[in-house]
Amino acid sequence: MDNSIANSAPKKTKWFHTVWGVLFLLAALGPFALPCLWKSETFSIFWKWVITISMIFLTIILAWSTWVVIQTTVREFRSAGLMPW
């Protein structure tokens, strides 16, 4: 049997390794989708680094914003006497 024909068949890319699949996963899962980005062959090394750094920066900003909102809410509840402690 000739293996050259079997090896020359185009390799089917899984949906989560396509450009739109990776972008969807990044939007839905945030930094948890970064391994799919790095395993994807459709992005160049430059774009993998740009997206990774952007995702880390966005995660830090969202975590900080969440912390500020929680602290403000707790402070307002305490000043209104709605928190027993």
Q: How many CB atoms lie within 10 A of CB 55?
A: 17
Name which of 26, 27, 1 is nearest 38 in CA terms: 26
Give the range of the structural domain holding residue 70, as residue numbers without chain letter.
Answer: 13-79
Mind listing the pLDDT tens digit for each residue in 17-44? 899 999 999 999 999 999 999 999 999 9
3 within domain boundaries = no
Is 24 part of a structural domain of the chain?
Answer: yes
Query: Structural domain tally of the chain?
Result: 1
Identify whether 4 is part of a domain.
no
List the one residue out of 21, 80, 85, 26 whose CA is nearest residue 58. Answer: 26
Question: 2 lies in a domain?
Answer: no
Q: Which of 15-19, 41-45, 81-85 has the lowest mean pLDDT?
A: 81-85
Whether 69 is covered by a domain: the verdict is yes
Residue 85 confidence (pLDDT): 72
Question: Is residue 84 in some structural domain?
Answer: no
Q: Is residue 8 part of a domain?
A: no
Q: Cα–Cα distance between 28 and 24 in angstroms, integer?
A: 6
- 6 is a domain residue: no
**Per-residue pLDDT reduced to its tens digit, 1-12:** 555 555 665 678
